[in-house]
């Protein structure tokens, strides 16, 4: 079926950068922010896109892209519908993973951590900063529920536009942020001949330690 696609020969020789193992930062967030700034210079629209993986109560993993909207020394915050499948997974099992892949830099960052809902006031602050259409969009759907094939979301949107006309759009209580508190952060830099550079930080509850991993 895939005879016309030459999968075996899809490969590149990574060579753009390296990790200087003799000169490392103590905190992975500081290094992450350095890499993130570089990624933003190249892809300012979606450098904050990452794959979030969760595990359901019956141990089924699931991955999807989300946009990280805040990074601070505590962790990485994204926003979503608290009734969505990912949120149901997180309610049962807060162990999650985030994966950033910055192709242009030949870099990947893998983060394992614990996801916790942020405070209602922090979610309000972010919600109030969103464009009005996005605010209304948060009221639009029960994310991840099944709908009929001919469901007309434009009609729902019109109804909501009328409902909120001349009024501030408040945050639905089922929409807000999660902060992922990192426990492990691994930086991967592609290198020639598959001799990639890997650096892993682990948090023991008090401080970060670091180790180099074989490619």
Ligand X SMILES: Cc1cc2nc3c(=O)[nH]c(=O)nc-3n(C[C@H](O)[C@H](O)[C@H](O)COP(=O)(O)O)c2cc1C
Stretch that binds ligand X, among 11-19, 25-33, 72-80, 114-122 (CB under 6 A): 72-80
Q: Which is nearer to ligand X, 91 or 211 (CB)?
A: 91
What phi and psi values does residue 180 have, to the nearest 5 degrees?
-95, 115
At its nearest, how many Å lie between ligand X and the CB of residue 89?
A: 8
The CA–CA distances, whole Å, from 65 to 31, 50, 154, 203, 215 equal 22, 5, 24, 25, 26
By CB under 6 A, name the one of 53, 77, 84, 135 that touches ligand X.
84
By CB under 6 A, name the one of 144, 164, 200, 203 that touches ligand X.
144
Catalytic residue among 194, 198, 207, 212: 194
The CA–CA distances, whole Å, from 205 to 1, 30, 42, 181, 183 equal 50, 18, 34, 11, 8
> Is residue 194 annotated as part of the catalytic site, yes or no?
yes
Cα 13 from Cα 105, distance rounded (Å): 13
Q: Quick one: DSSP state of residue 1?
A: -
Q: Which is nearer to ligand X, 144 or 202 (CB)?
A: 144
Note whether 202 binds ligand X by CB under 6 A. Answer: no
Query: Do the Cβ atoms of 192 and 14 come closer than 8 Å?
Result: yes
Residues engaged in binding ligand X (CB under 6 A): 49, 62, 64-67, 78-80, 84-86, 143-144
- Residues that are catalytic: 194
């Amino acid at each position: 079926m895939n005879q016309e696609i030459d999968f075996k020969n899809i490969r590149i020789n990574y060579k753009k950068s390296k990790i200087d193992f003799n000169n490392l930062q103590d905190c992975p967030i500081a290094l992450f922010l350095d890499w993130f700034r570089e990624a933003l210079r190249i892809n300012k629209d979606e450098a904050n896109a990452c794959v979030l993986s969760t595990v359901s109560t019956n141990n089924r993993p699931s991955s999807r892209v989300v946009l990280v909207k805040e990074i601070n020394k505590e962790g990485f915050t994204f926003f979503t519908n608290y009734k969505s499948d990912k949120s149901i997974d997180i309610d049962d099992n807060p162990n999650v993973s985030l994966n950033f892949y910055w192709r242009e830099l030949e870099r990947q960052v893998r983060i394992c951590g614990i996801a916790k809902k942020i405070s209602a006031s922090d979610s309000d602050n972010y919600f109030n900063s969103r464009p009005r259409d996005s605010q209304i969009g948060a009221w639009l759907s029960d994310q991840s529920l099944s709908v009929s094939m001919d469901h007309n979301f434009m009609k729902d949107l019109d109804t909501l536009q009328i409902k909120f006309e001349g009024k501030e759009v408040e945050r639905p209580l089922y929409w807000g942020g999660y902060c992922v508190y990192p426990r492990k952060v691994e930086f991967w830099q592609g290198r020639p001949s598959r001799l990639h550079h890997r650096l892993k930080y682990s948090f023991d509850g008090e401080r970060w330690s670091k180790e180099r991993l074989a490619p």
